[in-house]
Amino acid sequence: MIAFAACVASPEKLSRFAAPGLHRAMEPGSVFAELETDRSIHEAYNEALEHFAGYDDLEALVLMHEDCELLDDDFCARVRTALADPSVAIAGPVGARGVTGLAWWEGEIAGRAAETRGIVEGDELDRHVDALDGLLLVLSPWAVRELRCDTETFTGFHAYDMDLCFQARKAGHRVVTAPLNVFHHTKGGYGDAAAWQAADAAFRRKWTATRV
């Protein structure tokens, strides 16, 4: 069973953007969890991880933004292909190598994602990356059982994606891009710029001394 979860600040965005793609992609038996965001995304995602870790038949957990539209009718088949190698912990449409902070796009981009600002794309041959854009993260059963968002270091809505990917790689697992076609209906920007900068500083402090 492939499960899906999204943090929802705007039910209208969920209805307009994520819901049509979920209807297209989900299989009979798939489960969707709508997570509240009155706290931090780190806490909300941890609730999803704890919940779905108890599913014996879990094949993958897809964490996605409410404004991320899944475009593939065969999305679940693509997820299974992406996670076929048990060394893969997390897959997603787009990410980068040489990541040292939250601005992952400053690294060597791999994969592809369409968004309102254009196409973000890079290497399609070498799909191994340091980290993935958190618009869509596909977690293996191992990742769901073993990884958790770091609520002691981070608050708010930034850094969960980079940190989970770095945790997975530190544990000896791989992070990869996969041909998962999405359209990110983003309005752009960082949101709260000060919060983003604080999260970036915390991420750098955490991982500078522990290179993976």
CB atoms within 10 A of CB 3: 23
57: three-class secondary structure by DSSP:
coil
Q: Is the pLDDT of residue 187 over 80?
A: no
Residue 190 — very low, low, confident or very high, per pLDDT cuts 50/70/90?
low
Q: What is the pLDDT of residue 33?
A: 95
Residue 85 — very low, low, confident or very high, per pLDDT cuts 50/70/90?
very high
Q: What is the mean pLDDT of the chain?
A: 93
How many whole angstroms separate alpha carbon 26 and alpha carbon 4?
Answer: 8
Q: What is the pLDDT of residue 159?
A: 96
pLDDT digits (tens, 9 = 90+) for 13-64: 899 999 999 999 999 999 999 997 777 999 999 999 999 999 999 999 999 9
Domains of the chain: 2-208 (3.90.550.10)
**Helix/strand/coil percentages in the chain, nearest 5:** 35, 25, 40
**Is residue 117 classed exposed, middle or buried when 0-12, 13-18 and 19+ CB atoms within 10 A define those classes?**
exposed
pLDDT digits (tens, 9 = 90+) for 163-184: 999 999 999 999 999 999 999 9
Contact 129, 110 (CB under 8 A): yes
How many whole angstroms separate alpha carbon 58 and alpha carbon 29?
Answer: 11
